[in-house]
Structure 1
Amino acid sequence: MTGKVLVLLIVVAAVLAGAGMYYLQVYAYYEEVVPTGSDDVQLTPLNGDTPETILYEDFRAIDADSSPIRYRACFTTPTGLGTLEDIYAPYTGAAPRVAPGWFDCFDAEAIGEDLAEGRAKVFLSQRNLEYGIDRVVAVTQDGRGYVWHEVNDCGDKSYDGSPLDPTCPPREN
C-alpha cells in the first residue's frame, strides 16, 4: 500500500511540474506590447542608419524580459512590397521564430514558407537593438507584416565565446 501511495505522489508531482513548466514557457513571461501608434514598425533605409517609420495598421505585439529574442509582432501595411524593396535595406538569413500558439497572428511556419517561395521579403528594422540582436521585419506581397528579433554575427560570436571581429561594435557593460 505504501508503495502505491508513493508512486501516486511521484506521478502527481511530475504532472504538476510539467504543467508548471509548460505554463512558464508559453504564458507566464509574455506580455502584450502597447502600441505607440507612431513608431511601432520601422525600417532602415538603403542609404542610412536611422530607422524610419512606415505606414502600418492592425499592430499587435508580444515581448518578454526573459530573453532578447522573444519579441513578435504582426501588422498590415498599405505600402507595396516593391516600393519597400526600392527604399529599405534587405536582411539576409532571417528565419522567423515560433511564437506561442495563443499569439495566433504570427505563424512562423507560414511566414517561412512565404519567404522561401518569394512571397515575402525581410528588411532590417534596427541593427544592434540590444548587443548582438537585430530587429527584422518581413512583409508579404499582400501587405501582411511580421517583426521578430534575430541574433546577428556579433551576437553569435559573443554568446559562444568566439573572438569578435573588428566590425563588431564595442560591448557596453
Structure 2
Amino acid sequence: MTGKILAILIVITALIAGAGMYYLQVYGFYDEVTVKEVNLVSVVSDAPEPIPFTDFQAIDADSSPIRYRACFKTEMSLPLLTETYVGLEKAEPRNAPDWFDCFDAAKIGAELEAGTALPFLSQKNVHYGVDRIVAITQDGRGYVWHELNDCGEKAYDGTVIGEECPERPATD
C-alpha cells in the first residue's frame, strides 16, 4: 500500500513540475515590450535610424537576449528600403511562442526564401554578440528578432574570440 501511495505522489509531483516548466518556457518569462521602435542601419551613416511604422506588437524576456520578437506594418517600399538601409544576405527567423500569433517563423522564412521579403540589419550588438534583424515583406508587413552574430556564436560555443570582436562587458 505504501508503495502505491509513493508512486502516485511521484507521478503527481512529476506532472506538476512538468506543467510548471512548460508554463515558464512558453508564457512565464515573456513580457510585452513598451518601448515601440523600429530602426534600420543606414548605408550612409552606418547608424540605426527610425522608420515609420504602425500596428507594433512585441515581446521580450530577460531570461535570454534572443527572445525578442516583434511585428509591425510600414508604408516604405522594398526598393526604397534596399537603397537606404543595410541589407543582409541571409537571415533565419527564430520561432516565437504559439500565442504570439503575428510572428510565424516558418511563414517568414518561406517569404525570405522566395524573395518576397528582405532582411535588414536593425542594430548591431543590441546585447553582446546579438544583432537585431528586421524582415519586411512586399506588402509592408515587418518582423523583428534577435540573432547571434559571429562574436556571439564564438562567445557562446567556447571558441577563442578574436580581435575583431568588441570586449565582452563585465558581469557582476
Q: Secondary structure at the match of 1:146?
A: strand
Amino acid at match of 1:67: S
Q: In 2, distance between residues paired with 1:115 and 1:155?
A: 23
1:111 maps to: 108
Give CA-to-partner distance per residue, 1:89-133, whole Å, 9 cap, x none: 012332111111111101111111111111111100000111101
Quote the residue 1:8 is aligned against: 8
Does the CA-based 8 Å contact 1:43-1:125 persist in structure 2? yes
User: Partner amino acid for 2:26?
Assistant: V
Task: Specify which of 67, 72, 88 is matched with residue 70 of structure 1.
Answer: 67
Q: Percent identity?
A: 59
Show the counterpart of 2:45: 48
Aligned to 1:148: 145
Provide the residue aligned with 2:29 in structure 1: 29
Instruction: State the Cα distance separating 1:47 from its structure 2 match.
Output: 2.7
- Alpha-carbon shift at residue 52 of structure 1 (Å): 0.6
Q: Which residue of 2 aligns with 1:135?
A: 132
In the alignment of these two chains, the number of paired residues is 170
**Structure 1 counterpart SS, 2:87:** coil
Name 1:101's counterpart in structure 2.
Answer: 98
TM-score by length of 2: 0.94
Contact 1:42-1:54 within 8 A present in 2 as well:
yes
Moved more, 42-51 or 64-73: 42-51
Q: Tell me by how many angstroms 1:163 deviates.
A: 1.7
Q: Which amino acid in structure 2 is aligned with residue 134 of structure 1?
A: D
**RMSD between aligned alpha carbons?**
1.1
Runs (5+) with no aligned partner, structure 2: none
Cα distance in 2 for partners of 1:12, 1:92 equals 50
Query: Which residue of 2 is the match for residue 162 of structure 1?
Result: 159
SS at match of 2:42: coil
Deviation at 1:48, TM superposition (A): 2.4
Deviation at residue 166 of structure 1 after TM alignment:
2.4
* Contact 1:35-1:60 within 8 A present in 2 as well: no
Residue 10 of structure 1 deviates from its aligned partner by: 1.3
In structure 1, list runs of 5 or more residues that go unmatched. Answer: none
Aligned mates of 2:115, 2:166 — CA distance in 1: 32
| SS of residue in 2 equivalent to 1:22 | helix
Asked if the contact 1:61/1:74 (under 8 Å) is kept, the reply is: yes
Which amino acid is the alignment partner of residue 5 of structure 1? I
Q: Which residue of 2 aligns with 1:19?
A: 19
